[in-house]
Amino acid sequence: MDASLDTFILCVAPRKKPWVSLLNCSDLSTGESCDLTTYFNNAHCYYLARVQAFVPDQESNWTSSKLFYPMLDTILGAPVVELTGCGNCLLLQLSPPASRGHRRQLEFFFSDYVVNVSRTRDKAQFVIRASSGKNLINYLELGVEYCITVLPVTNLNNAVVPSGPHCTYTSPAPVNTVPVFVGALCTLFLLVALFSAALIYRGQLGVLHKLLPRTLSA
């Protein structure tokens, strides 16, 4: 059995041909599906789809879907998260999910986020608010692993998908080279002093060795 699928778009402006036939969704076999995402290119339109099945000698009645309004009915995917350590802080880069030509509309949806920060060692956690772009999470322990999850906050009643956990370590504490340098300098001075003392002691023994035969001969 084959199927023909048409999509009906209801916008504010009237259309001369309300039903738009989708050629790539025609002649579908039983069990096949068709992705209509690219046809819902206006988030402020109402969309209606209808489908009809047919065989060479008969056809079914049209079956229509419910009205679909992208602004409210879309399930928003997880945001894109990049996390890196930076000393006693984490650098968090947030952006809307990859989309098919709806980047600006998604930026409106994903303008605010709730970030849950958890320390791996003892599961201690806290929550912060963040925005799209670069965010800095400060006052963390050095050299410790932290994991975050990000949940978008929307001003509409859309279902949202949180991000999966992203984990990384804060940077380890920088090595203080001053004590090492001072210790090495003190060691060098001590070696020089010992070497000088050895030379002086050796020189005194040499003088004493030269003077001793004269005294005995006298």
> What pLDDT shows up at residue 181?
60
> What pLDDT shows up at residue 159?
77
- Least confident residue range of 26-30, 187-191, 198-202: 198-202
> What pLDDT shows up at residue 40?
79
pLDDT of residue 49 exceeding 80, the answer is yes
- Summarize pLDDT for 82-92 with one digit per residue, the tens: 999 998 999 99
Extract the runs of DSSP E, i.e. beta strands, from the chain: 2-10, 19-21, 46-55, 58-59, 63-64, 80-85, 90-95, 112-119, 125-131, 133-137, 145-153, 166-169
pLDDT of residue 25 exceeding 50, the answer is yes
pLDDT of residue 105 exceeding 70, the answer is no
47 vs 210 pLDDT, higher one:
47
**What would the two tokens of residue 175 be?**
């090595």
Average pLDDT of the residues of the chain: 77
- Summarize pLDDT for 175-187 with one digit per residue, the tens: 555 566 667 777 8
Residue 218 DSSP label: -
pLDDT of residue 164 exceeding 80, the answer is yes
CA angle 74, 77, 83 (to 5 degrees): 155
